[in-house]
């Protein structure tokens, strides 16, 4: 469940409600990982209240504050026992510096693949879900060579780059920068209070207030490789898809132009 | 010469300089049509100064303020004698309500087709150049059914809809609304201080500070026809092109994905 940040936590709670449902209902165990945040207790308090409002009794705050924490079997056990794992916003680089390659990281992969637990990430937690992670990048009116930097993410989904707060912060240009320079990666932009729900091996659904934008640069003709740093690339033939809330496809039934995206995101990942 | 508004008039004057060059140089006759504007004298003063700075002596203000003016042979003669015709910003609906279908309108078509004069339009003057004109439309974060209205423009270029101040005002969503509802029209978004120069029968060039965005919805799969008013359409497979300043193509040499756009915009129009 890839959430574009700013999901409602006090009123309709549409996205969080769905998270609880996918986890199996209010009777299941949820863990909230606040590692990305520098104000973890404040963030936890917000989700604690929201999930309590939704009737969840077994909710747990897991602030892994160091790699030692993330390799501590007692703490990792919380992930192993959870039906729903929620990664909050903050800084995706901080999140990955602490949990990348640790037992906690492995436990999340196992939770998803072996147990069918739901893993949600919002904002920084969303960006960290892909193998190639949008680490930081300038938001400008036009694509710009060298203006966006990738890092290594969790790899719960591969061959994509995820950006969040997408329409609200006008981030199409930086997504285009990424697909121009990395045509084998699909760009996925997720709006605030909006989630892309991916069911491995099955299909996708968009819920919430906004839309999901997909930029496919596989066939794009561009001069980015030959440009000086900071140049604006020419882009010919970027395939753009806009999936608003309510869009819902099974992988085997998706329209042909969406097939590549569907295959990539719903592909069952391995732990490797 | 389709200009996205806000072209520099006091410093580098890149776009206006090029307009004068295409008209044949500072020795030629220019006419500035301020009909779109409600402050025509103020607008004229600005261009008067700019073109004087560029060494143009034969520069003329033509404020056609009524359909009677636009059908007045004495006034229309100014267009017939001009090597460069410049339509200012303002309101494209006002411009078309006054000159649409008049002798002035016909004189502009003849100037372009029979005499090879250059016709430039900026902002409202740019939008008015196409046959299907973006009349008005809400700018929002997402495409929205019914949020954009078309009107009849001059038809100096056909099968396109032109939007201006494009990146600066974040107008991609409304361009997508247009191509979703009108897949046979190409959406063209032009940035401020940027011009798309179209040489009929030959090719195109982008100059100035920004870029030209093209949205091609011919192959797009969308549910817009079945949506209620104000709904956000799903869009699958919009072809997007970004041509930054410096992009330049001859129609016969353009990359295949750009061929349709090139054919459409450089097609020699008739007076019909």
Span A31-77, pLDDT tens digits? 999 999 999 999 999 999 999 999 999 999 999 999 999 999 999 99
- A78 closest CA partner among A62, A92, A66: A62
Is residue A140 within 8 Å of residue A157, measured between CB atoms? no
* Active-site position among A123, A127, A167, A245: A123
Task: Give domain status of residue A202, yes or no.
Answer: yes
- For residue B133, give the CATH number of its domain: 3.40.50.880
Residues in A closer than 8 angstroms to B236, CB to CB, are 241, 243, 255, 257-258
Strands A203-208 and A194-199, sheet pairing: antiparallel
Element (DSSP H or E) covering residue A119? strand A118-122
Q: Distance between CA atoms of B207 and B210, rounded to whole angstroms?
A: 8
Reduced to 3 states (helix: H, G, I; strand: E, B; else coil), residue B10 is coil
**Each residue's pLDDT expressed in tens, for chain A with a length of 272 residues:** 999 999 999 999 999 999 999 999 999 999 999 999 999 999 999 999 999 999 999 999 999 999 999 999 999 999 999 999 999 999 999 999 999 999 999 999 999 999 999 999 999 999 999 999 999 998 899 999 999 999 999 999 999 999 999 999 999 999 999 999 999 999 999 999 999 999 999 999 999 999 999 999 999 999 999 999 999 999 999 999 999 999 999 999 999 999 999 999 998 754 43
Q: Distance between CA atoms of A189 and A220, rounded to whole angstroms?
A: 18
The model's confidence at residue B100, banded by pLDDT at 50, 70 and 90, is very high
Helices (H), chain B: 14-23, 40-53, 67-70, 73-80, 92-99, 103-113, 124-127, 172-181, 259-266
Task: Give domain status of residue A78, yes or no.
Answer: yes
Helices (H), chain A: 14-23, 40-53, 67-70, 73-80, 92-99, 103-113, 124-127, 172-181, 259-266
Q: In this structure, how many other beta carbons lie within 10 angstroms of the beta carbon of residue B181? A: 19
DSSP category for residue A24? T
Tokens found for residue A15: 């996205």
Chain A residues with CB under 8 Å of a chain B CB are: 141-143, 167-168, 170, 172-173, 176, 191, 210-211, 215, 219, 221, 232-245, 247, 255, 257-258
Task: Give domain status of residue A271, yes or no.
Answer: no
Q: Tokens 């990281």 identify what position?
A: A105
Residues 6 or more apart whose Cβ sits within 8 Å of residue A52: A59
| Candidate from B142, B221, B237 with C-beta closest to A167 | B142
Q: Is A127 a catalytic residue?
A: no
Task: Give domain status of residue A81, yes or no.
Answer: yes
- The residue segments making up the domain with residue A41 are 2-266
Indicate the number of domains in chain A: 1
Task: Give domain status of residue B272, yes or no.
Answer: no
Q: Is A192 a catalytic residue?
A: yes
Q: Distance between CA atoms of B19 and B205, rounded to whole angstroms?
A: 13
Task: Give domain status of residue A272, yes or no.
Answer: no
| Candidate from A172, A239, A258 with C-beta closest to B172 | A172
Residue B251 has pLDDT above 90, yes or no: yes
Task: Give domain status of residue B271, yes or no.
Answer: no
Nearest-by-CA chain A residue for B231:
A244
Burial A44-61 (b: 16+ CB within 10 A, else e): beebbebbeebebeebbb
Tell me what percent of chain B is helix, strand and coil, each rounded to the nearest 5.
30, 25, 40
* ipTM confidence: 0.91
The model's confidence at residue B272, banded by pLDDT at 50, 70 and 90, is very low
Q: What is the pLDDT of residue B269?
A: 59
Q: Distance between CA atoms of B84 and B25, rounded to whole angstroms?
A: 10
Q: Distance between CA atoms of A170 and A142, rounded to whole angstroms?
A: 10
Burial environment of residue A169 by CB neighbours within 10 A (0 to 12, 13 to 18, 19 or more): middle
Measured N-to-C along each axis, helices B103-113 and B73-80 cross at an angle, to the nearest 10 degrees, of: 20
Q: Is B127 a catalytic residue?
A: no
Task: Give domain status of residue A76, yes or no.
Answer: yes
Tell me what percent of chain A is helix, strand and coil, each rounded to the nearest 5.
30, 25, 40
DSSP category for residue A57? -
Beta bridge partners of A206: A196
């Amino acid at each position: 469940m890839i959430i574009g940040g700013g999901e409602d936590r006090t009123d309709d709670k549409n996205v969080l409600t769905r998270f609880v449902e996918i986890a199996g209902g209010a009777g299941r165990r949820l863990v909230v990982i606040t590692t990305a945040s520098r104000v973890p207790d404040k963030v936890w308090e917000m989700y604690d209240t929201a999930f309590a409002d939704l009737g969840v009794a077994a909710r747990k705050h897991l602030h892994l504050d160091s790699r030692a924490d993330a390799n501590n079997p007692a703490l990792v056990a919380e992930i192993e026992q959870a039906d729903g794992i929620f990664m909050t916003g903050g800084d995706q680089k901080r999140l990955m510096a602490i949990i990348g390659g640790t037992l906690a990281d492995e436990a999340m992969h196992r939770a998803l693949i072996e147990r069918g637990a739901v893993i949600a990430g919002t904002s920084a937690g969303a960006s960290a879900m892909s193998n190639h992670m949008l680490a930081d990048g300038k938001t400008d009116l036009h694509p710009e060579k060298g203006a966006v930097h990738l890092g290594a993410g969790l790899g719960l989904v591969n061959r994509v780059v995820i950006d969040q707060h997408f329409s609200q912060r006008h981030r199409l240009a930086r997504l285009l920068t990424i697909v121009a320079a990395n045509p084998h990666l699909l760009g996925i932009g997720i709006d605030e209070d909006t989630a892309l729900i991916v069911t491995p091996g099955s299909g996708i659904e968009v819920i919430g207030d906004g839309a999901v934008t997909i930029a496919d640069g596989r066939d794009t003709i561009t001069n980015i490789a030959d440009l000086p740093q900071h140049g604006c690339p020419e882009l010919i033939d970027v395939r753009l898809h806009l999936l608003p809330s309510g869009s819902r496809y099974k992988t085997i039934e998706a329209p042909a132009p969406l097939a590549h995206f569907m295959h990539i995101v719903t592909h069952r990942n391995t732990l490797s």
